[in-house]
Structure 1
Amino acid sequence: MAQKRAFNEGKRHFKKSKKQKTAESDGSNEQVLLTDVRRLLAEVKIEEGEEKKLPEQWTEVELDISELSSTGDGLAQKDGQVYVVPFAAPGDTVKAKVVRHDSEHSYTLTGFLSVTTRSQHRTETPRCPYFTQCSGCQFQHLPYAYQLAHKRGIVEKAYRNFSNLPGTAVPDVGETIGSPLHYHYRTKLTPHFDAPPGARRDKRNGLKVKWDEVPPIGFMKKGTRKTMDIEECPIGTEAVQVGMRSERKRVKAEIDKYQRGATLLLRESTERIKKDEADSETQDKQDGVVVEDRGDHFHRKVCITDSKATSTEYVDDFRFDNPAGAFFQNNNSILPLVTQYIRDNILAPQTNPSSNNTASPTSKIKNMIDAYSGSGFFTVTLSPIFHQSLGIDISEQSIASATQNARLNHLPENSTRFLAADANHLFSAIDATKFPPAETAVVIDPPRKGCDKNFIRQLLAYGPERVCYVSCNVHTQARDVGWLVRGLEPEAEVEGEGMLEGMYEIESLRGFDFFPQTSHVEGVAILRRKKRAGVEEEGKVVDEGVDGKAADQGQTVVGDAA
């Protein structure tokens, strides 16, 4: 009966907290998994007086997989319990090892053992010898078309579960845009190794750390905190693979120099050489150099291991130089598809720009603000279709890199600029006379946690004509977009703060597969502002905003920086 009480308490917990968790989604894997578990539990019928019999920890169970969760794990129902099974496919019958019961939420985490009956979807032979052991990839056993379809479903569920919007407010999610490369696409990997047992004690006692053997160098073993030894990673680019082999040899030779564990950096860097300027050595394969024929150019690629060194990437004809340890998107092959998609959709649909990067003369959108601009990727690649572009980031180092990248791409300084500002005060740094909201599109590309409410309030108060929200976490994106569409209630602790009405409609939603063979999907949402309350005055729109006041009232202008 204790198990039955725990099960019923778990159901009550779900019912009580569902609305709160949906509204305040943190987008964590645990919360996303619980949402899928919660839905399956609603389908489970437990007869009155029936008691669930859960298998002992570490015992083996046979399970029929019914679906994939948004975290990439297989889900199975058995005796009123949901079992979470990694590396599974819908239609599989698998043997799994019971790892942990969550009695409060009525699900069980398991470890994958073997397949008893293969699903029709399990058609691929994994290329990685560590698949089902390494915690990196989930889908190497599934065909790529199936992966893309599943990721479309992840975006759909994210908006259904976390946006708090009615179905009528959410358009059909477009088909997921696939990566041109399904393997060998990652331009950055960070394998690591751990300190030997007793290292802390030795350091505390002033002793030199002793390495009895070379430790495993690689990535986390699934379901554990242990590092497993990995000699190659087939999702890394060829240059990164070369670097991985070289770094493993170096660490083995120099292990006694380390007094603790370490994380290694493997970052691809590219030198572009015009073919008519290339000599014979350019095309020769040299140690540590990968040469690719790119039509009019050769790309000579090497792996950088110093985080302070400069790495170079090319996206179409745009060049980006960054500190090798700094953030930059890790799948270069898909980036041209992302930037072209945004160019085609960030302006009003009737004035889509052509592929030659020139804006339609009839478009009223003339300006772009790139929030969370980082080293300027979106600012630089999108600026040719705008009259003026402003990238904003809190990091001074990122702003310095972005400014340099704009110069490298010969963008005029008077029309493409960057500004260091805290996201919590971002829009107070914008001169609304230079960036009129009715003529401005805002690009948002925040961290996984998404935007906080203060940022959303600023964005609603500023009220740009269009918003392009790029996200590495579609669950927090759905939450934030929900706020932009339906509005934000006042914070209880902020005296005198009123309701901010939603002022946007979702025009389109689409996933991009930045990381094939994994459950990750990047989301791009295009929002348009609802029809403005305003009047025509000598051909100029006077924006009354949501409260009847001019949109530029209350704005703080910081010199001429913006």
Structure 2
Amino acid sequence: MESQPKPNHGKRPFKQSHQGAKRSQKKARKRERDMKNGSAEEVLGFDVRSLLDSLNQPEEHASGNGDAASAEETLPEQGSEIEVDVVELASTGDALALQKGSKRIYVLPFAVPGDTVKVKVYRHLKEEQYTVADFIFVVKPSVLRDDSRVGCKYFSTCSGCQFQMLDYAEQLHLKKRIVEKAFKNFSQLPPELIPTIQDTIGSPLQYGYRTKLTPHFDGPQGWRKSKAPFEKRPDIGFMPKGKRSTMDIEDCPIGTDAVRMGMKSERERMDVEFNKYSRGATILLRESTARTTKDASSLAERETPPNAVRVETDGFVDLKTCVTDNNATSTEYVGDYVFHNPAGSFFQNNNSILPEFTDYIRQHILPTSPSTPIKYLIDAYSGSGLFTITLSALFQGSTGIDISDKSIEFARKNAQANNLPESQANFIAADAGELFKSVMYNADETVVVLDPPRKGCDADFLGQLLRFGPKRVVYVSCNVHTQARDIGVLVRGEAGNAEGKIDGPSGTRYEMESLRGFDFFPQTGHVEGVAVLNRVEAPEIGASVEKVAE
């Protein structure tokens, strides 16, 4: 986030003040560029370089250049078909493979270590030191591969899933490695400051878990000029791996039954209404639940509506439907808690793991033997209140903060729906640059929960957090690479402030207590990270500074 210029107060000509603002903004932009972004390309680059280093290890880098051997090779022509042997999986879910007798790395999808695969050479990337290839078929399967596990006929073409051929225990092991490599590559911390990564917590459902899908269709050829409607129903689905077009997909088995029913219904609607569209669009499919207790016999005995899926538990009857209007309200239950959201807004997309996930946060939000009791919770990036509401019973006061007025509006409604008074679950809409200014809690008695978007926290927010200095921080992230980057900042106690300087190294800093992944997205390479941090207290700060400096 760019810092704002200070008011002039009439002491300087406007021109000088404007130039000062530009310099301040330039510094802020530079800080953001310097913070690694955790993109797929950057993550893949680390894994490729690591493999190159291991391949050149016997030669002890005699050439002084890790890509010297591959640079001297005559690479296969683009478009040619070759066989490669897969040696490992990157953190992106892509396979890294070698051609026999070569040290050139080939990056391809839908393969696992031990596979021999026929691929089509797509593009040689000189600076990145690898070649992108398209998967054709498996020549010799790995012992890790069992294609009978594949639950989708579009697997190995659709870009959505990477791991359907793998045993689920192996998927969880791979995701633990993803977390390990994220903190090795992105935190810029010495290994002794990173705790042993715990085993990844699996999802109760490995298929049928996604409560939200967004298939789409492309506009007709030349639609920008012609504005003419479709002459037939377009392909509706998701993008194939490595292509920008849309692949027609009738069904997605990682979606819940209600979402899959909605997908079928929307495709049938488009069979009739395609001529109403002259451009591409995205279709929302969001599960919504209407719950009643089983003692409400009139509803329990009623037939399930044709557009709903009936789910019965010991105490409840849930009727699950699919919402397709972005502005409609969807309802979701996490254990005994209920949450209402704008259907098109963000909410965790795997309900099956949410009760265990929120219970884990509840068990780890407080230290086991605090010297000063923690009485208050700040839920930064609170959204519609998932953590504030599920954790509020543990605190004297809880405050959720978000920059979105709409999210805060729904968070307040959700607090009321869960019978929580404002004194117990308070919500504030605040500009990102002033998130902590409205909070009056004592930092020594406060824990902060962070759950930012994939890009992570910006330098300005981390500076605010360090200046506030809560006793404890729980950082939840859907991108463990930007999470590692941000936690490195907190452990070092360094973040850019509004003047472009660095806070620290003698100020507030943190140490990591625990770190583990949660598998919100089985069959894919994505993993959710949960890290617990404690503020370092004097005189420990001096020792911590020395460790970080080393």
| TM-score bracket for this pair, using the shorter chain length | 0.7 to 0.9
Alpha-carbon spacing, 1:184–1:58, altered in 2? closer, same or farther (3 Å): same
Helix, strand or coil for the counterpart of 2:196?
A: coil
Identical aligned residues as a percent: 55
**Structure 2 partner of 1:526:** 532
Query: Equivalent residue for 2:204?
Result: 180
2:383–2:411 Cα contact (<8 Å) kept = yes
Please list every run of at least 4 consecutive aligned residues from structure 1 whose deviation after the TM superposition is greater than 3 angstroms. Answer: 20-23, 44-50, 280-283, 489-502
445-454 or 49-58: bigger deviation? 49-58
- How far residue 493 of structure 1 moved from its aligned partner, in angstroms, is 6.2
Q: Match of 1:67, as an amino acid?
A: E
What per-residue deviation string (whole Å, max 9, x for no partner) do you get for residues 8-44 of structure 1? Answer: xxxxxxxxxxxx9997310100000000001111133
Over 3 Å counting, the alpha-carbon distance change for 1:97 and 1:413 in structure 2 is: same
Which of 334, 337, 357 does residue 353 from structure 2 map onto? 334
Greater displacement, 494-503 / 397-406: 494-503
Per-residue CA deviation, residues 351-410 of structure 1 (Å, 9 max, x unaligned), is 7xxxxxxxxxx9701100000000111111111111110000000000000000000000
Find the residue that maps to 1:341 and give its secondary structure: helix
1:424: how far off?
A: 1.9
2-side partners of 1:280 and 1:312: how far apart?
18
1:276 corresponds, among 283, 290, 295, to: 295
Against the structure 1 CA distance between its residues 146 and 283, is the aligned structure 2 distance closer, same or farther, given a 3 Å change threshold?
A: farther
* Uncovered stretches (5+) of structure 1, i.e. residues with no partner: 1-19, 204-208, 352-361, 535-545, 547-562
How far apart in 2 are the matches of 1:474 and 1:235?
22
SS in 2 for 1:101: strand
Of 155, 176, 179, which residue of structure 1 is paired with 2:179? 155
Closer/same/farther in 2, CA of residues 491 and 404 from structure 1, 3 Å limit: closer
Alignment partner of 1:425 is 2:398 = no
Relative to structure 1, is the Cα distance of residues 401 and 487 closer, same or farther in structure 2, using a 3 angstrom cutoff?
same
Compute the displacement of 1:502 (Å): 5.0
1:441 partner amino acid: V
**Structure 1 residue 459 displacement after superposition:** 0.8
- For the pair 1:28 / 2:2, whether they are aligned, the reply is no
Partner of 2:389: 380
Q: Is residue 297 from structure 1 mapped to residue 303 from structure 2 by the alignment?
A: no
Cα distance in 2, alignment partners of residues 235 and 529 from structure 1: 40
Which of 410, 424, 441 is equivalent to 2:419?
A: 410
Take 2:497 and 2:376, find their aligned partners in 1: how far apart are those partners? 32
What 5-or-longer segments of structure 2 have no aligned partner?
Answer: 1-30, 545-550
2:81 corresponds to which of 32, 53, 60: 60
Aligned to 1:13: none
1:480 aligns with 2:486: yes
- TM-score of the superposition, structure 1-length normalised? 0.85
- More displaced stretch, 470-479 vs 40-49: 40-49
Kept in 2: contact 1:23–1:164 (CA 8 A): no
**Superposition pairs of residues 185-224 of structure 1, within 5 angstroms:** 185-203=209-227, 209-224=228-243
Distance across 1 between alignment mates of 2:78 and 2:357: 45
Report Cα offsets for 1:301-334 as digits up to 9, x if no partner: 1111111111100000000011111111100011
Q: 1:282–1:238: structure 2 CA closer, same or farther, 3 Å change rule?
A: farther
Match of 1:119 among 120, 132, 142: 142
Q: How many residues align?
A: 500
Pair 1:283–1:500, CA change in 2 (3 A): farther
Given that 1:457 and 1:500 are in contact with CA atoms closer than 8 Å, whether structure 2 keeps it comes out as no
Equivalent residue for 2:51? 40
CA distance in 2, matches of 1:315, 1:490: 37
* TM-fit CA distance, 1:533: 6.5
Q: In the alignment, what sits opposite 2:260? A: 241
Q: Tell me, what secondary structure is at the counterpart of 2:208?
A: coil
Change (3 A) 1:368 1:395: same
**Which residue of structure 2 lines up, in the alignment, with residue 355 of structure 1?**
none
* Other-structure match for 1:560: none
User: Which residue does the alignment assign to 2:104?
Assistant: 81
Give me the TM-score of the superposition, normalised by structure 2: 0.87
The answer to whether 1:436 aligns with 2:442 is yes
**What's 2:331 paired with?**
312
